[in-house]
Amino acid sequence: MADAPENNGGADQFVPDGEGVAEPKARWYIVHTYSGYEQRVEQTIKEMMRTGQDNGAIKEVVVPTEKVIELVKGAKKTSMRKFYPGYIMVRMVMNDLSWHLVQSIPRVTGFVGGKNRPTPMRDSEAERILAMMVSRQEQPRPKFHFERGDEVRVIDGPFGGFNGVVEDVNYDKGKLRVEVSIFGRQTPVELDFVQVTKG
């Protein structure tokens, strides 16, 4: 998975139950799940936290998501999209109990970084993903990522049904300039992201 969050070495974070004087620092770990079951696993972990099954070792669980906008039947629709399908982030103190609790959840395939010694995420990487989540909740993005030269199909507005090529992208305004062939002439038109689809 090319875009998955990176991990650092840190196998020394695994603390057997009852050992050590001070409580170890909670770190972010990446848990691999079956794709499509991220929210179900998140809810199971939250229930374990609520009922105290984790003895306070699990501090937080997050499914990294962003708001996206698309056009459905002529109306703008906002939905949530996962950054990393099949992965969730869990901030926890890694010990025997917390490791076994998370590993035993149905549809969890394991921790990233090793079968018996999960590797924590770098703090900077976890902070970057969490900050990205906040910014993308406040400012929804288009469902598709557009680049100059992409072929698109207009699905809404007076140019609906026409094909064109992206000439310019303005992510701040959510606009595209697309060259559309009308009566054999290339005509530049400005469209909202939600008015086009790739291909």
**The pLDDT of residue 9:** 47
Asked which of 25-34, 61-70, 100-109, 139-148 is least confident by mean pLDDT, the reply is: 139-148
Q: How far apart are CA 23 and CA 52, in angstroms?
A: 17
For the record, the structure tokens of 12 come out as 């020394």
- Of 169, 163, 174, 170, the C-alpha closest to 199 is 163
The residue among 19 and 171 whose pLDDT is bigger is: 171
Q: 32, 110 in Cβ contact below 8 A?
A: yes
24's CB contacts (< 8 A; 6+ apart) are 13, 15, 93, 94, 95
Type and span of the H or E element at 110? strand 108-111
The tens digit of pLDDT for each residue in 94-153 reads: 999 999 999 999 999 999 986 677 999 999 999 999 998 888 777 766 667 788 999 999
- Burial track 151-168 (b if 16+ CB lie within 10 A, e otherwise): ebebbbeebeebebebee
Distance CA 30, CA 90 (A): 6
Domain 11-142 - what CATH class?
alpha beta
pLDDT at 199: 73
pLDDT level of residue 19 (50, 70, 90 thresholds)? low
CATH class of 151-198: mainly beta
Q: What is the pLDDT of residue 49?
A: 95
Q: How far is CA 189 from CA 145, 146, 172, 180, in A?
A: 18, 15, 18, 7
174, pLDDT greater than 50: yes
pLDDT band for position 198 (50/70/90)? Answer: confident
pTM: 0.66
Determine the average pLDDT of the residues in 54-59: 94
Domain residue ranges of the chain, discontinuous segments joined by + = 11-142, 151-198
Cβ atoms of 93 and 57 within 8 Å: the answer is: yes
* pLDDT bracket for residue 11 (50, 70, 90): very low
- Residues 50-65, mean pLDDT to the nearest whole number: 94
Helix, strand, coil % in the chain, rounded to nearest 5 = 20, 40, 40
